[in-house]
């Protein structure tokens, strides 16, 4: 499935979960994560700014999901 086959909100949520889960697990974003995440963003056709805005708008839900898996 290409990125064009997935709605943008779904791609944003996926990228946001990856970033939030890493922050909650590691406590910070290190250079290794940043390098890999840049590739994820490119593959999903998203920008850091879009993902960060999505996180800010949905932080509570994303945090619960990352901690509980629900």
pLDDT digits (tens, 9 = 90+) for 7-65: 999 999 999 999 999 999 999 999 999 999 999 999 999 999 999 999 999 999 999 99
Looking at residue 40, its pLDDT comes to 94
Cα–Cα dist 1/54, whole Å:
23
Looking at residue 1, its pLDDT comes to 56
Confidence category of residue 5, pLDDT binned at 50, 70, 90 = confident
Looking at residue 2, its pLDDT comes to 63
Q: How far is CA 17 from CA 14, 20, 59, 60, in A?
A: 5, 5, 10, 12
Looking at residue 21, its pLDDT comes to 94
Cα 1–Cα 19–Cα 68 angle in degrees, nearest 5: 95
């Amino acid at each position: 499935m290409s990125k064009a086959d997935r709605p943008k909100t779904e791609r944003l949520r996926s990228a946001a979960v990856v970033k939030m889960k890493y922050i909650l697990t590691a406590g910070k974003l290190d250079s290794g994560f940043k390098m890999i995440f840049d590739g994820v963003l490119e593959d999903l056709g998203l920008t850091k700014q879009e993902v960060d805005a999505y996180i800010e708008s949905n932080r509570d839900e994303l945090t619960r999901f990352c901690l509980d898996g629900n």
